[in-house]
Amino acid sequence: MQFKAILVEKTDAGQSASLKELSVDSLMEGDVLVRVSHSTVNYKDGLALTGKAPVVRRFPMIPGIDFSGVVESSSHADWRPGDAVVLNGWGMGETHFGGYAGYARVKGDWLVPLPRNFTPAQAMAIGTAGYTAVLSVIALEKHGVAPADGPVVVTGAAGGVGSVAIALLAKRGWHVIASTGRPQEKAYLEGLGAAEVIDRKELSEKGRPLGKERWIAGVDGVGSHTLANVLAMTKYRGAVAACGLAQGMDLPASVAPFILRGVALLGVDSVMASKSRRIEAWERLARDLDTSKLAAMTSTIRLEETIGAGEAILAGKLRGRTVVRIA
């Protein structure tokens, strides 16, 4: 059985990505074969496609950290041909062949059922970025912060994690402050539910150890000085969920927000999250994510366009979420 896939191969210059024709026999080991219908472009996919960070740990590699599709064959007790499934993370596109392909062979334990209320295309419009956004929101709620305590700031607002986080937080009644480097996206961000839009320059430069208390909570997909400033401006007993590094992996902060204001920094990882956390996250998305807002933040491309989209996401040029239609 032949199918199209994006393949990243090692070259003398580093690595290169191209569209190839592969056979199912060339897929890696796993107990479930899935006919992939949709994947997405996440920030990490941009890193894998371009080689700008060592995301790909084995060459050649099919990138694509997530997919939705239908089980073609299975020797795993939980899955039967025809089941609609979703997969996020677990090293796909890094150590295991990923979603930019007509077929994927994976471990059945990594799969979750296609969440109720969503089509395969919508599940990938959410994708790993959206699922990480909901994990961040859940982390804040479990910490105990609530809309009555004050506003929430979302950094990288016009990106994938940011867009979904804004929609989810607004739905739960939060006053959302969206931080963006794209002032032209003000109306888009307000449409998702942002109450205020601020220039990311207010947060992206080196700041003071403690600043004016502006928000009780934050969802940060940016890292570096931005995260340091978000922490420095968080109100007493507030919390910030840190899930990304679009500005940088460093954290040039001081301990002042932690020891003087009792601020909590909550780490969010989606890749190795347990199945129960995944199911909780998807159930929350089914309950709280307005599908018209999801449509407003989604663009769709063909597999052939994925390599260019990888460059674009790293340049901060993709808005919201980008679905890759495979089938």
For binding to ligand NDP (CB under 6 A), which residues are involved?
42-44, 128-129, 132, 156-162, 180-182, 200, 204, 221-222, 226, 243-247, 268-271, 313, 316, 318
33 or 245: whose CB is closer to ligand NDP? Answer: 245
Q: Give the shortest CB-184-to-ligand NDP separation in angstroms.
A: 10
How many other CB atoms sit within 10 Å of the CB of residue 199? 12
DSSP-assigned letters across all residues of 43-101: HHHHHHHHTSSS---SSSB---SEEEEEEEEE-STT--TT-EEEEE-TTBTTTB--SSB
Which residues, listed in sequence order, are joined to residue 152 by a DSSP beta bridge?
176, 217
The gap between the terminal CA atoms of the chain, to the nearest Å, is 14
Residue 254 has which token pair?
């001081």
Please give the Cα distance from 112 to 122 (Å, whole number).
15
Q: Give the shortest CB-153-to-ligand NDP separation in angstroms.
A: 12
70 or 198: whose CB is closer to ligand NDP? Answer: 198
105 or 293: whose CB is closer to ligand NDP? Answer: 293
Q: Are 249 and 225 in contact (CB under 8 A)?
A: no
Element (H, E) at 20: strand 14-23
62 or 158: whose CB is closer to ligand NDP? Answer: 158
Q: Are 207 and 142 in contact (CB under 8 A)?
A: no
150 or 156: whose CB is closer to ligand NDP? Answer: 156
27 or 164: whose CB is closer to ligand NDP? Answer: 164
Q: Give the shortest CB-193-to-ligand NDP separation in angstroms.
A: 15
Please give the Cα distance from 314 to 210 (Å, whole number).
30
Q: Give the shortest CB-231-to-ligand NDP separation in angstroms.
A: 15
* CA–CA distances in Å: residue 220 to residues 126, 171, 276: 17, 19, 24
Q: Give the shortest CB-125-to-ligand NDP separation in angstroms.
A: 12
Residue nearest to ligand NDP (CB): 159
